[in-house]
A = this chain, B = another copy of it.
Amino acid sequence: MKSNRVPSADLSAQIAANIRDAIVSGALIVDERLPSEAELSLKFEVSRATVREALKRLAAQSLIRTQRGATGGAFVNRISFEAAQAQQITTSTLLLSMNDVSFETACEARYALERACAPLSSDRRKSNHINVMRDEINVQREVGLSDEAFCASDVAFHRALVDGAGNPVLSYQLAGAVEAMQPLMNMITFTARSRDAIIALHVTIADAIEAQDGAAASAGLTALEAETQALARRVFAQRSGNSAQV
């Protein structure tokens, strides 16, 4: 099972790929200890510095963790939903900002995904999900709330909606979409009037989720998407140059 990697890549990249394959294939299992850096440098016939660079690559992907000391070493890490989410949010955020993804496209994707959760969340949401949604609505009603804080509360509201589905895989997938949009949302100025419209729809959605009416929740999300898109168009049109970017 020798590496059939492109030999053009760096040695540290090749070694990282080799170990990564072993983890993905199951040859290395969770919490298993990798050979020490010295042993790996012998095995791969490279210096310890190169081995370390490979291990840092894997650590950056949360595939391994390292421990110092006598019984230390590198261990296969059990990727947590939290760690995976954090990475996905970083990646998604950069993806949107670096590739000139339009607000419209990102917004459409976000609400499409959220609608996917609405029926499940309607079925299974617990009281705590409802409570979070109600609480966040109250936060959003506060006068003098900054646009950033309003957006943060918006994210919290929608995360509660998604989490209500009780499916960690869904929550993980959605976190990237919802949170990655926050920088774009933060570019928007929310007038009191636009906030009122959003809050009213949040109430509609929360009511529907509480009443376990998935169709109504989906409809509320659709209306919220339309409202958000319209608001964004107004804001971006007002921006002096009216350049069509973003």
Contacts and interface: CB of A to CB of B under 8 A. Distances in A.
A190 to B, nearest CB: 22
A143 interface: no
A13 B57 CA distance: 11
A30 B96 CA distance: 13
A23 B94 contact: yes
A188 interface: no
A101 B61 contact: no
Contacts of A101: 168-169
A108 interface: yes
Given A101-B169, A167-B108, A84 B91 contact: yes
A94 B167 contact: no
Contacts of A93: 24
A62 B13 CA distance: 12
A87 B58 CA distance: 12
Given A24-B93, A94-B63, A112-B117, A167 B57 contact: no
Interface stretch (A129-137, A152-160, A172-180, A236-244): A172-180
A170 interface: yes
Contact of A167 (B12, B98, B105): B105
A91 B169 CA distance: 12
Contacts of A108: 120, 167, 169-170
Contact of A169 (B62, B96, B97): B96
Given A30-B98, A88-B91, 9 more contacts: A56-B57, A57-B57, A60-B61, A79-B98, A101-B168, A101-B169, A108-B167, A113-B116, A115-B116
5 contacts: A52-B53, A81-B95, A87-B91, A109-B170, A115-B116
